[in-house]
Structure 1
Amino acid sequence: MSSSSSSVVYEGWMVRYGRRKIGRSFIHTRYFVLETRLLSYYKRKPQHKMAKLPIKSLHIDGNCRVEDRGLKMHHGHMLYVLCVYNKREKHQRITMAAFNIQEALIWKEKIEMVIDEVLHGKP
């Protein structure tokens, strides 16, 4: 299994959603890239493969799940939140959000498709 076999399945701007220790939520616009075995996000859209290292990556395998966290309010904006995590290592997770439900559902569907392909042994 080589990393060169990885290809981009889906990519686009989404929002990184999280909570600070004092309970306030934060959002950061980030560029997400879903590959055949990897979900990563960057501050800016990567111009080419080796342009920049991602801020964070999550290896996608058969233990990954996409959890629908529903609608959250952030400073008057409705966000539709998804959490992608590894059920064996719950600290390995990426929480992402979209301003519209359609975009969030497309991401959920694409990530689940990648997990499904890993589970059923497709390269």
Structure 2
Amino acid sequence: MAKVVYEGWMVRYGRRKIGRSYIHMRYFVLESRLLAYYKKKPQDNVVPIKTLLIDGNCRVEDRGLKTHHGHMVYVLSVYNKKEKYHRITVRDLFPILKF
């Protein structure tokens, strides 16, 4: 059976310590049990910036609309319940993802 992989460019959303928010384009790869993102489209032997194991403890939190430099963005946060502070926060997850 062929392995199913979803991948594409999405925007990573975060906040700095001084309260300003930022967004970065990142290349996300969702495999059967792993979500990972990279600065650019991964080639052979490239280490991801961050990974998250998808299991029964994985949660998706709807953060709703936020303002980023005067623009409204829709924000989702993906995290593992056991490691609540190891989050991956993205905006506009579904419109940017390529299947």
1:21-46: CA deviation from partner (whole Å, max 9, x where unpaired):
11111111111111111111111112
After the TM superposition, which segments of 4 or more aligned residues of structure 1 sit over 6 Å from their partners?
none
Q: 1:28 aligns with which of 21, 24, 28?
A: 24
Give the share of equivalent positions with the same residue, in percent: 71
* 1:11 maps to 2:7: yes
Query: How far off its partner does 1:96 sit?
Result: 0.9
Q: Which amino acid aligns with 1:103?
A: P
Query: How far off its partner does 1:79 sit?
Result: 1.5
Q: Which has the higher helix share?
A: 1
Q: 2:87 aligns with which of 89, 93, 106?
A: 93
The TM-score with structure 1 as length reference comes to 0.69
Q: Which has the higher strand share?
A: 2
> Per chain length, whose mean CA-contact separation is higher, i.e. which structure has more relative contact order (CA < 8 Å, sep 6+)?
2
Count of matched residue pairs: 97
Task: Pick which of 76-85 and 36-45 moved more.
Answer: 76-85
Q: 1:6–1:37: 8 Å Cα contact kept in structure 2?
A: no
Q: Which amino acid aligns with 1:19?
A: R
The TM-score with structure 2 as length reference comes to 0.84
Query: How far off its partner does 1:77 sit?
Result: 2.5
Unmatched runs of 5 consecutive residues or more in structure 2: none
Where 2:84 maps in the other structure, the secondary structure is: coil
Q: How does 1:1-123 map to 2 (within 5 A)?
A: 7-8=4-5, 10-47=6-43, 50-98=44-92, 102-103=94-95
Query: How far off its partner does 1:7 sit?
Result: 4.1
Task: Pick which of 69-78 and 58-67 moved more.
Answer: 69-78
RMSD: 2.3
